[in-house]
Amino acid sequence: VRPILAGATLIGALTSYSPSEGGLGKNLTLFKKALSYKSFADTEIREQLAQASAIVFRNEQIDVKVKNEFYELGYSELTNQLKSTPEDARYRLFMGVFLNSAGRFEEGITQLTKAVELSPAKQSIIFELGTSYLNSGKFAEALEAFSKAFLLEPAFSDARIIYALGAVYNKDMNLADQILEEGFGTVLVSDARLEQAYFNNKQFERLIAIYKNKIETEPANGELYLRLAGAELQDGQRSAAIASIRKAMEVDPKLKEA
Protein backbone atom coordinates (compact mmCIF):
# COMPACT_ATOMS: atom_id res chain seq x y z
CA VAL A 1 0.00 0.00 0.00
CA ARG A 2 2.81 2.41 0.90
CA PRO A 3 4.36 2.38 -2.61
CA ILE A 4 0.93 3.03 -4.11
CA LEU A 5 0.35 5.99 -1.79
CA ALA A 6 3.87 7.28 -2.46
CA GLY A 7 3.33 7.04 -6.22
CA ALA A 8 0.00 8.83 -6.07
CA THR A 9 1.51 11.57 -3.92
CA LEU A 10 4.45 11.92 -6.33
CA ILE A 11 2.02 12.58 -9.18
CA GLY A 12 0.58 15.39 -7.08
CA ALA A 13 4.09 16.72 -6.38
CA LEU A 14 4.72 17.00 -10.12
CA THR A 15 1.53 18.97 -10.75
CA SER A 16 1.54 22.74 -11.28
CA TYR A 17 -0.32 24.72 -8.61
CA SER A 18 -1.43 28.33 -8.72
CA PRO A 19 -0.41 30.69 -5.89
CA SER A 20 -3.93 30.37 -4.45
CA GLU A 21 -3.44 26.59 -4.30
CA GLY A 22 -0.11 26.87 -2.51
CA GLY A 23 2.22 27.18 -5.50
CA LEU A 24 5.65 25.59 -5.22
CA GLY A 25 5.19 25.30 -1.45
CA LYS A 26 2.55 22.65 -2.09
CA ASN A 27 4.87 20.78 -4.47
CA LEU A 28 7.55 20.71 -1.79
CA THR A 29 5.08 19.50 0.85
CA LEU A 30 3.94 16.69 -1.42
CA PHE A 31 7.50 15.61 -2.19
CA LYS A 32 8.12 15.38 1.55
CA LYS A 33 4.89 13.43 2.05
CA ALA A 34 5.75 11.02 -0.77
CA LEU A 35 9.13 10.35 0.84
CA SER A 36 7.57 9.91 4.27
CA TYR A 37 6.08 6.56 3.17
CA LYS A 38 9.66 5.17 3.00
CA SER A 39 8.87 2.73 0.20
CA PHE A 40 10.85 1.27 -2.67
CA ALA A 41 9.53 4.25 -4.67
CA ASP A 42 11.96 6.54 -2.81
CA THR A 43 14.62 6.30 -5.54
CA GLU A 44 12.14 7.43 -8.22
CA ILE A 45 10.87 10.23 -5.97
CA ARG A 46 14.41 11.46 -5.40
CA GLU A 47 15.14 11.47 -9.13
CA GLN A 48 11.98 13.44 -9.84
CA LEU A 49 12.78 15.83 -6.99
CA ALA A 50 16.24 16.44 -8.45
CA GLN A 51 14.79 17.20 -11.89
CA ALA A 52 12.09 19.46 -10.48
CA SER A 53 14.68 21.29 -8.38
CA ALA A 54 16.81 21.97 -11.46
CA ILE A 55 13.81 23.69 -13.09
CA VAL A 56 13.24 25.73 -9.94
CA PHE A 57 16.91 26.79 -9.75
CA ARG A 58 16.90 28.03 -13.35
CA ASN A 59 13.78 30.17 -12.96
CA GLU A 60 14.86 33.70 -12.04
CA GLN A 61 11.31 34.62 -11.04
CA ILE A 62 11.23 32.18 -8.13
CA ASP A 63 12.02 33.46 -4.64
CA VAL A 64 15.44 32.56 -3.24
CA LYS A 65 13.84 31.18 -0.07
CA VAL A 66 11.86 28.65 -2.12
CA LYS A 67 14.96 27.69 -4.09
CA ASN A 68 16.85 27.11 -0.85
CA GLU A 69 14.07 24.88 0.46
CA PHE A 70 14.18 22.76 -2.69
CA TYR A 71 17.97 22.62 -2.45
CA GLU A 72 17.98 21.51 1.18
CA LEU A 73 15.43 18.74 0.58
CA GLY A 74 17.01 17.60 -2.69
CA TYR A 75 20.54 17.56 -1.30
CA SER A 76 19.45 15.69 1.82
CA GLU A 77 17.55 13.04 -0.12
CA LEU A 78 20.23 12.52 -2.76
CA THR A 79 22.81 12.20 0.03
CA ASN A 80 20.63 9.51 1.60
CA GLN A 81 20.47 7.77 -1.76
CA LEU A 82 24.25 7.81 -2.10
CA LYS A 83 24.60 6.30 1.37
CA SER A 84 22.40 3.42 0.19
CA THR A 85 24.05 3.02 -3.22
CA PRO A 86 27.55 4.57 -3.01
CA GLU A 87 28.90 2.62 -5.99
CA ASP A 88 26.06 3.41 -8.37
CA ALA A 89 27.25 5.87 -11.05
CA ARG A 90 23.66 6.76 -11.93
CA TYR A 91 23.01 8.43 -8.57
CA ARG A 92 26.41 10.14 -8.56
CA LEU A 93 25.34 11.61 -11.90
CA PHE A 94 22.00 12.76 -10.48
CA MET A 95 23.78 14.44 -7.59
CA GLY A 96 26.28 16.06 -9.96
CA VAL A 97 23.53 17.42 -12.21
CA PHE A 98 21.62 18.64 -9.15
CA LEU A 99 24.67 20.48 -7.81
CA ASN A 100 25.47 21.96 -11.22
CA SER A 101 21.90 23.24 -11.50
CA ALA A 102 22.30 24.90 -8.11
CA GLY A 103 25.54 26.56 -9.24
CA ARG A 104 27.71 24.45 -6.91
CA PHE A 105 30.11 23.39 -9.64
CA GLU A 106 33.09 22.38 -7.49
CA GLU A 107 30.92 20.01 -5.47
CA GLY A 108 29.44 18.76 -8.73
CA ILE A 109 32.94 18.02 -10.04
CA THR A 110 33.64 15.85 -6.99
CA GLN A 111 30.50 13.76 -7.53
CA LEU A 112 30.91 13.49 -11.28
CA THR A 113 34.58 12.53 -11.04
CA LYS A 114 33.52 9.63 -8.85
CA ALA A 115 30.76 8.76 -11.34
CA VAL A 116 33.31 8.63 -14.17
CA GLU A 117 35.50 6.32 -12.09
CA LEU A 118 32.51 4.02 -11.60
CA SER A 119 31.42 4.18 -15.24
CA PRO A 120 34.37 5.36 -17.38
CA ALA A 121 32.72 4.65 -20.75
CA LYS A 122 29.49 6.58 -20.12
CA GLN A 123 29.52 9.61 -22.43
CA SER A 124 26.72 11.48 -20.68
CA ILE A 125 28.58 11.47 -17.35
CA ILE A 126 31.82 12.74 -18.91
CA PHE A 127 29.93 15.49 -20.74
CA GLU A 128 28.35 16.61 -17.47
CA LEU A 129 31.77 16.63 -15.80
CA GLY A 130 33.11 18.73 -18.66
CA THR A 131 30.21 21.12 -18.24
CA SER A 132 31.07 21.49 -14.54
CA TYR A 133 34.63 22.37 -15.47
CA LEU A 134 33.38 24.82 -18.11
CA ASN A 135 31.08 26.59 -15.64
CA SER A 136 33.95 26.71 -13.13
CA GLY A 137 36.20 28.46 -15.64
CA LYS A 138 38.50 25.43 -15.84
CA PHE A 139 38.64 25.40 -19.60
CA ALA A 140 41.64 23.10 -20.05
CA GLU A 141 39.99 20.44 -17.87
CA ALA A 142 36.70 20.92 -19.75
CA LEU A 143 38.44 20.39 -23.09
CA GLU A 144 40.12 17.24 -21.78
CA ALA A 145 36.78 15.83 -20.62
CA PHE A 146 35.02 16.69 -23.89
CA SER A 147 37.87 15.14 -25.86
CA LYS A 148 37.61 11.93 -23.85
CA ALA A 149 33.84 11.76 -24.37
CA PHE A 150 34.21 12.47 -28.11
CA LEU A 151 36.76 9.70 -28.61
CA LEU A 152 34.35 7.19 -27.11
CA GLU A 153 32.02 7.73 -30.10
CA PRO A 154 33.51 10.02 -32.80
CA ALA A 155 30.55 9.42 -35.14
CA PHE A 156 28.22 11.18 -32.69
CA SER A 157 27.86 14.68 -34.20
CA ASP A 158 26.69 16.23 -30.91
CA ALA A 159 29.87 15.02 -29.22
CA ARG A 160 31.92 16.63 -31.97
CA ILE A 161 30.18 19.98 -31.50
CA ILE A 162 30.70 19.88 -27.72
CA TYR A 163 34.37 18.97 -28.24
CA ALA A 164 34.77 21.95 -30.59
CA LEU A 165 32.96 24.16 -28.07
CA GLY A 166 35.52 23.13 -25.44
CA ALA A 167 38.33 24.10 -27.80
CA VAL A 168 36.78 27.55 -28.37
CA TYR A 169 36.58 28.22 -24.63
CA ASN A 170 40.17 27.01 -24.29
CA LYS A 171 41.18 29.66 -26.88
CA ASP A 172 42.31 27.00 -29.39
CA MET A 173 40.48 28.04 -32.55
CA ASN A 174 42.77 25.94 -34.75
CA LEU A 175 41.69 22.79 -32.92
CA ALA A 176 38.04 23.87 -32.97
CA ASP A 177 38.19 24.43 -36.74
CA GLN A 178 39.91 21.10 -37.30
CA ILE A 179 37.23 19.25 -35.30
CA LEU A 180 34.41 20.92 -37.22
CA GLU A 181 36.03 20.62 -40.64
CA GLU A 182 36.67 16.90 -40.19
CA GLY A 183 33.11 16.20 -39.14
CA PHE A 184 31.03 18.66 -41.16
CA GLY A 185 33.25 19.68 -44.06
CA THR A 186 33.08 23.32 -42.95
CA VAL A 187 33.82 25.49 -39.94
CA LEU A 188 30.58 27.43 -40.45
CA VAL A 189 28.44 25.14 -38.32
CA SER A 190 25.20 26.69 -37.10
CA ASP A 191 24.59 25.51 -33.53
CA ALA A 192 23.29 27.63 -30.65
CA ARG A 193 25.90 26.29 -28.21
CA LEU A 194 28.78 27.03 -30.57
CA GLU A 195 27.40 30.45 -31.39
CA GLN A 196 27.21 31.29 -27.68
CA ALA A 197 30.82 30.11 -27.26
CA TYR A 198 31.96 32.33 -30.13
CA PHE A 199 30.07 35.27 -28.64
CA ASN A 200 31.49 34.73 -25.14
CA ASN A 201 35.01 34.53 -26.58
CA LYS A 202 34.57 37.57 -28.85
CA GLN A 203 34.84 35.56 -32.06
CA PHE A 204 32.45 37.94 -33.78
CA GLU A 205 33.92 37.48 -37.27
CA ARG A 206 33.09 33.80 -37.08
CA LEU A 207 29.53 34.58 -35.98
CA ILE A 208 29.13 37.01 -38.87
CA ALA A 209 30.34 34.36 -41.32
CA ILE A 210 27.93 31.77 -39.89
CA TYR A 211 24.91 34.08 -40.10
CA LYS A 212 25.76 35.25 -43.62
CA ASN A 213 26.15 31.63 -44.71
CA LYS A 214 22.80 30.70 -43.19
CA ILE A 215 21.08 33.72 -44.77
CA GLU A 216 22.05 32.34 -48.19
CA THR A 217 19.75 29.36 -47.55
CA GLU A 218 17.10 31.33 -45.60
CA PRO A 219 17.02 34.78 -47.23
CA ALA A 220 13.53 35.54 -45.90
CA ASN A 221 14.41 34.89 -42.26
CA GLY A 222 14.39 38.30 -40.59
CA GLU A 223 15.62 36.87 -37.29
CA LEU A 224 18.89 35.83 -38.95
CA TYR A 225 19.49 39.39 -40.12
CA LEU A 226 18.97 40.62 -36.57
CA ARG A 227 21.48 38.10 -35.24
CA LEU A 228 23.89 39.21 -37.95
CA ALA A 229 23.34 42.83 -36.93
CA GLY A 230 24.10 41.98 -33.31
CA ALA A 231 27.38 40.31 -34.25
CA GLU A 232 28.34 43.17 -36.56
CA LEU A 233 27.62 45.71 -33.83
CA GLN A 234 29.78 43.79 -31.35
CA ASP A 235 32.53 43.70 -33.99
CA GLY A 236 32.41 47.47 -34.36
CA GLN A 237 30.72 47.38 -37.78
CA ARG A 238 28.00 49.91 -36.99
CA SER A 239 27.06 50.78 -40.58
CA ALA A 240 26.81 47.12 -41.56
CA ALA A 241 24.66 46.44 -38.47
CA ILE A 242 22.22 49.23 -39.40
CA ALA A 243 21.98 47.84 -42.94
CA SER A 244 21.27 44.34 -41.56
CA ILE A 245 18.52 45.67 -39.30
CA ARG A 246 16.91 47.46 -42.24
CA LYS A 247 17.13 44.26 -44.27
CA ALA A 248 15.50 42.31 -41.43
CA MET A 249 12.51 44.68 -41.45
CA GLU A 250 12.36 44.53 -45.24
CA VAL A 251 12.11 40.73 -45.40
CA ASP A 252 9.87 40.52 -42.32
CA PRO A 253 7.72 43.68 -41.89
CA LYS A 254 6.38 42.35 -38.56
CA LEU A 255 9.78 43.15 -37.04
CA LYS A 256 9.01 46.85 -37.43
CA GLU A 257 6.51 46.47 -34.61
CA ALA A 258 9.07 44.88 -32.27
CA 224 – CA 251 distance, rounded (Å)? 11
Q: Quick one: 187 exposed, middle or buried, by C-beta within 10 A (0-12, 13-18, 19+)?
A: middle
What are the angstrom distances between the C-alpha of 107 and each of 57, 110, 112, 124?
16, 5, 9, 18
CB 162 within 8 A of CB 150: yes
The whole model's pTM is what? 0.84
Tens place of pLDDT for every residue, the chain, 258 residues? 888 899 899 999 999 888 888 889 999 999 999 999 998 889 999 999 999 999 999 888 899 999 999 999 999 999 999 999 999 999 999 999 999 999 999 999 999 999 999 999 999 999 999 999 999 999 999 999 999 999 999 999 999 999 999 999 999 999 999 999 999 999 999 999 999 999 999 999 999 999 999 999 999 999 999 999 999 999 999 999 999 999 999 998 888 775
